[in-house]
């Protein structure tokens, strides 16, 4: 069976999903798994498409010390024990910069180009590119496709795209990009099945996880995002600051004597819910805590979501639906309830019973603002883009062969 492999690598884990290609359009999940604890307590876990356990195997730290070894370990298991052969491999790449606005087949030139955007996504881009480099070296003839989190937002108007800086900086790429685009693209498509009228109107989507952002969507197209030049902007996140006065950065540099790298690490790793609470970056732990600082962190998170909803509603000229997705948005009925209360001025009325069971629609009948909970699936979106890219290439090759 032909399959598409989707890879999403982090600093200490490699997540993967395998989709069977039934025909030119249909994809079915066959395997989902990950290698986590790389270099510390490595473990390979995987389930089949129905959720049944396929493997849970631990390794000594020295057996899987890095991402490359983790890739080899997972790949060997998929090939030898699952007897899978891959038609192509799709990758999530966080930053495509101003140049790449759609999924693209990978070659060495593209990989070199994407290295330029590492400073704009230092937590993600190096880890996204590492498996691409490994696989390109080991399997140079295997089609690989890069799918960008920034691509969904590249249709923004110039007014929404710009910062108030000289044009020369805009030309070289200093602009608002937006992120979590693969998630927003998938949920936008899913909303056409869940609530077609709302999907063709004006929606605000909230991708709420350890990384968090919001997006204004008009008829399925991104119009505005809370994230900008980097994935630091907008909402407070697990360990990232979110929106902050640039003067704070200047203060840290000039008055605290911090280096640029130290400031970067601070804003990405020591702020957000972790910095506010002094306890944890995990919303579940903060909800269970009786510490005032935990309550402050959660109140701040909800408050900022409320503020940004108003901004995004203004960008759209109104709002017909609000959609929760990602880890917190999908799983925390308590956080959904708190956020919905902040949206009461827009006409949001939550249905407590529907919210508790995580129904697709959690607003009361007659609510002026419809509220939805739609699980995201970035990996499936990547698989769809990968299949489309290689199908387009194959069609072009076939047409060229007929002309020759």
Q: Look up 36 and say whether it is catalytic.
A: no
Phi and psi angles of residue 212, each rounded to the nearest 5 degrees, phi first: -135, 140
Q: How many CA within 13 A on the CB side of residue 39?
A: 9
Question: DSSP alpha helices (H): ranges in 30-124?
Answer: 67-76, 108-115
342-351: long-range contacts, CB 8 A cutoff, minimum separation 24? 342/302, 342/303, 342/305, 342/306, 342/309, 343/306, 343/309, 343/369, 343/371, 346/309, 346/313, 346/319, 346/322, 348/322
**Helix, strand, or coil (residue 175):** coil
Q: Taking a C-beta distance cutoff of 8 angstroms, is the pair 223, 311 a contact?
A: no
Structure tokens at 269: 């790793």
Closest to 150 (Cα-Cα) out of 261, 272, 209, 233? 233
Write the DSSP symbol of residue 348. B
Which candidate in 36, 149, 161, 320 is catalytic? 149
Give me the residues paired with residue 322 across strands.
Answer: 204, 371
* Helix (H), strand (E) at residue 299: helix 292-316
**Helix (H) or strand (E) segment spanning residue 401:** helix 378-403
Q: What is the 3-state secondary structure (H, E, C) of 195-226?
A: CHHHHCCEEEEEEECCCEEEEEEECCEEEEEC
Supply the residues annotated as catalytic. Answer: 149
């Amino acid at each position: 069976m032909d399959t598409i492999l989707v890879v999403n690598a982090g600093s200490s884990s490699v997540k993967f999903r395998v989709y069977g290609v039934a025909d030119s359009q249909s994809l079915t999940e066959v395997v989902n798994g990950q290698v986590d604890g790389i270099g510390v307590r490595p473990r390979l876990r995987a389930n089949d498409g129905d959720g049944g356990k396929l493997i849970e195997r631990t390794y000594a730290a020295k057996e899987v010390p890095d991402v490359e070894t983790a890739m080899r370990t997972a790949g060997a298991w998929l090939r030898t024990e699952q007897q899978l052969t891959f038609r192509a491999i799709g990758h999530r790449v966080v930053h495509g910069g101003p140049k790449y606005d759609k999924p693209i087949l990978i070659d060495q030139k593209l990989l070199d180009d994407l290295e330029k955007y590492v400073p704009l996504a230092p937590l993600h881009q190096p880890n996204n590119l590492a498996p691409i480099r490994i696989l390109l070296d080991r399997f140079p003839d295997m089609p690989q496709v890069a799918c960008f989190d920034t691509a969904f937002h590249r249709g923004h108007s110039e007014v929404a795209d710009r910062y108030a800086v000289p044009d020369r900086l805009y030309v070289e790429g200093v602009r608002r990009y937006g992120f979590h685009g693969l998630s927003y693209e998938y949920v936008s498509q899913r909303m056409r099945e869940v609530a077609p009228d709302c999907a063709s109107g004006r929606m605000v989507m909230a991708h709420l996880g350890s990384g968090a952002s919001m997006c204004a969507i008009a008829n399925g197209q991104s119009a505005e995002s809370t994230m900008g030049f980097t994935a630091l902007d907008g909402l407070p996140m697990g360990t990232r600051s979110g929106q902050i006065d640039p003067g704070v950065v200047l203060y840290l540099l000039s008055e605290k004597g911090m280096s640029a790298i130290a400031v970067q690490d601070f804003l990405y790793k020591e702020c957000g819910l972790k910095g506010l609470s002094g306890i944890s970056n995990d919303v579940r732990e903060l909800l269970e805590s009786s510490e005032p600082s935990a309550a402050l962190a959660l109140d701040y998170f909800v408050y900022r979501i409320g503020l940004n909803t108003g901004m995004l509603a203004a960008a759209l000229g109104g709002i017909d639906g609000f959609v929760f997705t990602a880890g917190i948005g999908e799983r925390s009925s308590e956080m959904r309830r708190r956020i919905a209360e902040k949206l009461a001025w827009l006409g949001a009325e939550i249905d407590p019973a529907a919210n508790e069971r995580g129904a697709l629609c959690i607003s009361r009948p007659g609510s002026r603002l419809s509220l939805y909970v739609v699980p995201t699936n970035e990996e499936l979106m990547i698989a769809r883009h990968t299949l489309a890219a290689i199908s387009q290439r194959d069609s072009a090759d076939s047409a060229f062969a007929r002309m020759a």
